[in-house]
Structure 1
Amino acid sequence: MMRIALLVHDYDRRVGHGRYVVELAERFSREHEVHVFAHRFADAPNARIRAHHVPALRATAMTTILTFPLGSWWRLREAFDIVHGQGLCAFALDVATAHICQWAWLAALRERDGHLSARHRLFRELIGRWERALYHSSRTGWIIAVSEKVRAELARYYARRERVVVIRPGVDLERFHPERRRQRRAVVRRALGYAERDFLLLYVGDLQKGAASALRALALVPEARLLVISRSPSDRYRALARHLGVSGRARFLPLTDCIEDYYAASDALLFPTVYDAHGMVIWEAMACGLPVITTRAAGAAEVIAHLEHGVLVEDARDVHALARYVRWLQEDAELREAIGHRAREHIQAFSWDRVAHETLRVYERARREA
C-alpha cells in the first residue's frame, strides 16, 4: 500500500484538473492511503480519502498559481511515497501531470491574434518560466503528459524529454452515455425553449479557445443555433454575437453540474479550439454519441479519425470550413447518428480505470528510482 498525496487547486468534477483528481483519488483509495490537498472541495471526498485545505489567494488565475504552492508546502509536512501535482501546485514533485504547456498555449494565442495582451505577456514571463523550472528533472521526477502534443511541447519549449509518459485522460462512460440523449433530450430542449426541429450546436469550455470562431461560423449558417456553456467572462463574446447579428441564435449559460443534459439536448459539439492539450469536452461529447467538430490543435484529435469518429478542421480561424461541416451535419441526420455511434464505440477504450492503472505504474517506477 502506498501513501499518496494528490495536489490540485479545486477538487471539483466540473473542471478538468479537478475531475482528473476526483476520478484517480476514488480509485486509488480502494487499495492505498490517499490524501487530497486542495483549496476548494466542491465534491465531498469519500470516507477513505483524507482532505486537506490549502490556503491560497484566489483573486485571479495568476495569484492562484503563485500562492497555492506556498500553501501546499506549508501543509505537506508528512512523508508520502508519492506526491502527485496537477501542474504548478508545488515547488517539487515526484510526479506531475502536464495538463497544458503554458508557452505553447500563449504561442498559439499570439499566432491567432497577432499579439499577446499585457496580461498574457506577464503570464508568460512569470508562470511560463516557473512551469519550465518546475518541469526540470531536478524538481519533478516524472511527468504525465495528457497527449503526444504536450509531450512534444515540453521537449520543444522546456527541453524536458526524459521520464515523460503519455496517459490520456479518461471519461465517465456511465455518466456520458447515449441513453441519456434518448431520455433527456426532449425535456431539456423544452426547458431551454428549443423545438425538436432546431439544429442545436454546443460549445463548452474556455471562451478564449474558440468561441469567437464558433460564433462567426454560426453567422454563416442561418438555420443553426448555438448554446455556449462556460465559466469564462462572456461580455466580449456577447458583443461579438450582437455585431454578427446572431445574438438571437446564440445563448450563453454558466458552468453547470449537469453538463451531460446539454450534450443530450444538442445535435453536435462545435469546438474550434486554437489550442487544447487534450480536450475533455471532446471526450464527453463522443461518449454521449454526439458528433464533434473540432480542430487538429486539440490533443484528443490525435486519436480521432477524420469523418469516422468526428470532424477535424486544420485551422480554427477557417470559419468557412467550420460552417461547411455544420451544414453537412445539419442536412444529414443519418450521418450525424453514424459518426456519433462510431465515436461512442471508439471512446470506450479510454476509461478512468485504465488511467488509474497506468498512473500507478508510473508511481511504481518513481518509487524504484527514489
Structure 2
Amino acid sequence: TYPQLISVFLRFGLVDREDGRDRAVRPLGHQKQWISKARSHPLKPPSLGSELKRLHKPRICHSTRELDGLKIAIVRTTLHRGSGQAVHIKEIGRRLVQRGHEVTIFAREVFEDLDSLPSRRVSSSFDGVPFIRHLGFTMKAGVLIQGYDLVHTQYHPDIFVGNYLHSIKNIPHVFTYHGFAPIRLWVNPMQKLKMIDHKAGTFPSLRAGVDQIISVSEFLKNELTSRFMIRPEKIQVIYNGVDPERFRPEVNGEEMRKRYGLAHRPVVLFLGRLAPYKGIQYLIKAIPSILKQIPEAIFLIAGSARYDTARIGSMLATASMRRAVIFTDFVPESEVPKIYAACDLFCYPSLWEGFGLTPAEAQACGKPVVAFRHCALPEVVAHGETGILVKPGDHEELANAVVELLSDPARMVEMGRRGHRRVKRLFSWDVAADRTVSVYERAISIHGMQC
C-alpha cells in the first residue's frame, strides 16, 4: 500500500530522520553511497522481505490519555493567500491554541499570514510528475511529524500523510472535506488533469486510514455518502465560520468608495478567485441587461486571477460595459471587510461551492446576496430572506434579481439585517473549533478501539 511503500523508503535511508532541522528528502542516487557504507559495516542492512514482514506485525496501541492539551499536526501542501482553506486552517488553528492545544502547521508552501501559528516547511527534492512530488512530500512530512496525538489533513495530497501516519505510526487521522469542483467546469487542460489526479487520490484514501471526516456542508456530506459510499456515521458536518469582530455592518466603506471613484452610485460586488467555476462570466453577461435598467450601476470585481482568465477582459464588449466595471485584483485581508462595506449588493454566481465563505462574510457585513441556487449555497443564503437564489447558469435571471434588489433599497437593508443575524447564529468559528475538538476526541476513541 501507499503508506507501506513510504515506510520502506524511510527504512532504507531515502529520507533524513533528523528532528529539529528541516532537511530535504535525499535523492535516489544517495542509495549508492548508503550501500557502499553498508558493505563495510558489521550490521547488515534490512532486506526488503524482512521489512515487509515487520510492517505486517500487529500494531501495539498506546494507552488512553487525557484529551486536554492535544498536540495536533495540521497538514496542507500549499496555503494560498486569501483562499477559503487558508482562512479555515488559520481560524480553527488559532482557536485550538486558545483552548490549550498545541498546533503546528506542516506545509510545502505558505503564502498566507498565519497569525503567529507555528509552522514547519516540508521541503523535498522530489519534483516533476505529481506522483513523485506527492510521494516526496508525504515521506518528508511523515518523518517530521513525530510525537503528535492527532493529524488533521485538509486536501490532496495531504491525505496521504494522514494515511501513512495512521497506518504505520498509529496516529489518529481526521480529514476535512472541502470538496472538488467538477472537472467539466475547468477550461485549462492542465487544471482538468490536476483535478482528476486529486479525486483519484482522495476518494479511495477516505475508506481506510481516516478515523473521522469533517464536511463543511450538508451538500458535501451527501456527496460523500451517495456518490462515494462513505458511511454517514464517519462524517460530521461543521460549517465554516465568520469572524464577527471583523465582518459587521458597522464597518465603514467610504475609503474604498473614494479609492475606486464609486461616489454614491449603486455598487455590485464580486469577490473571489477569478476562475471559471466561480461564474464571473455570468455576471459579465448580465451587465448589459442591468445597465439598461440601472445605467448608473457600477460593478466591482475583486480577486486574483489563477486559472483560465485571459478571456474575461475580452467579454467586456462595449465602452459602457468597460466604464461600468472595475477590477481591483487581490484584496489584502485587512481591506476585505471594507470592500464588502463599500457595496450595496454582493453577487456570487458560482457554479460550484462546497460552502461559500464570501457570501457568508458579505451577509455578516449586512449585505444582501444574489447567487445561483445549487450546491451548498442554499445552506448559506436563505432565499427571499437574506438574498435571492436563481437558476444556475442563467445570466438573465441573475440580471433580473440584481435589478429587483437595486430598485428596492429598503428591501436590501432589511435583507442585510436578517443576513447579519443569521450568519451570527449559524456560522461561528468558535462553535466550529469546539465541534472540531469533539471530532478529535471521537477519532481518538475510535482509533483506540480499532487497534
Residue of structure 2 equivalent to 1:359: 436
Residue of structure 1 equivalent to 2:13: none
Q: CA deviation digits over 1:305-352, x for unaligned, max 9? A: 21101111122x211111111111111111110000100011002110
- Establish whether residue 310 from structure 1 lines up as the match of residue 379 from structure 2: no
**Shift in Å, 1:165:** 1.2
Q: 2:133 aligns with which of 61, 67, 89?
A: 67
Residue of structure 1 equivalent to 2:341: 264
> 8 Å contact 1:11–1:19 — kept in the other structure?
no
Q: 1:55 to 1:247 in 2, by over 3 A?
A: farther
Residue of structure 1 equivalent to 2:283: 214
- % identical aligned pairs: 28
Residue of structure 1 equivalent to 2:180: 101
> 8 Å contact 2:369–2:388 — kept in the other structure?
yes
> 8 Å contact 1:133–1:139 — kept in the other structure?
no
Q: 1:167 aligns with which of 216, 234, 238?
A: 238
State the one-letter code of the partner of 1:201: V
State the one-letter code of the partner of 1:331: S
Residue of structure 1 equivalent to 2:27: none
> 8 Å contact 2:369–2:381 — kept in the other structure?
no
Distance 1:359 1:365 in 2: 10
**Shift in Å, 1:51:** 1.5
SS of 2:146 mapped into structure 1: coil
Residue of structure 2 equivalent to 1:128: 199
Q: CA deviation digits over 1:176-204, x for unaligned, max 9? A: 11000xx2x222211111111x1111111
Distance 1:191 1:364 in 2: 48
Q: 1:66 to 1:347 in 2, by over 3 A?
A: farther
Q: 1:85 to 1:243 in 2, by over 3 A?
A: farther
Q: 2:414 aligns with which of 338, 353, 359?
A: 338
Q: 1:240 to 1:66 in 2, by over 3 A?
A: farther
Residue of structure 2 equivalent to 1:252: 327
Residue of structure 2 equivalent to 1:141: 211
Any unmatched runs of 5+ in structure 2? 1-68, 163-172
> 8 Å contact 2:242–2:361 — kept in the other structure?
yes
Residue of structure 2 equivalent to 1:113: none
> 8 Å contact 1:92–1:134 — kept in the other structure?
no
**Shift in Å, 1:8:** 2.1
- Establish whether residue 299 from structure 1 lines up as the match of residue 299 from structure 2: no
> 8 Å contact 1:101–1:153 — kept in the other structure?
no
State the one-letter code of the partner of 2:347: L
Residue of structure 1 equivalent to 2:354: 277
SS of 1:28 mapped into structure 2: helix
Distance 1:69 1:229 in 2: 36
Residue of structure 1 equivalent to 2:258: 190
- Aligned residues, how many? 352
**Shift in Å, 1:230:** 1.6
SS of 2:82 mapped into structure 1: coil
Q: CA deviation digits over 1:88-132, x for unaligned, max 9? A: 114153111111135xx225x28xxxxx65335423432221121
State the one-letter code of the partner of 2:103: V
> 8 Å contact 2:183–2:196 — kept in the other structure?
no
* TM-score (norm: length of structure 1): 0.88
Distance 2:214 2:303 in 1: 26
State the one-letter code of the partner of 1:360: V
Any unmatched runs of 5+ in structure 1? 111-115
State the one-letter code of the partner of 2:155: G
> What is the CA RMSD across the aligned residues, in angstroms?
2.5
Residue of structure 1 equivalent to 2:61: none
SS of 1:270 mapped into structure 2: strand
State which structure, 1 or 2, has the greater radius of gyration over its C-alpha atoms: 2
Q: 1:19 to 1:44 in 2, by over 3 A?
A: closer
**Shift in Å, 1:11:** 4.9
Larger fraction in strand: 1
Q: Where does 1:34-45 land on structure 2 (aligned, <5 Å)? A: 34-38=103-107, 39-40=109-110, 42-45=112-115
Q: 1:139 to 1:243 in 2, by over 3 A?
A: farther
Q: 1:229 aligns with which of 273, 293, 302?
A: 302
SS of 1:29 mapped into structure 2: helix
Distance 1:33 1:341 in 2: 38
Q: CA deviation digits over 1:30-50, x for unaligned, max 9? A: 21111111221531443xx43
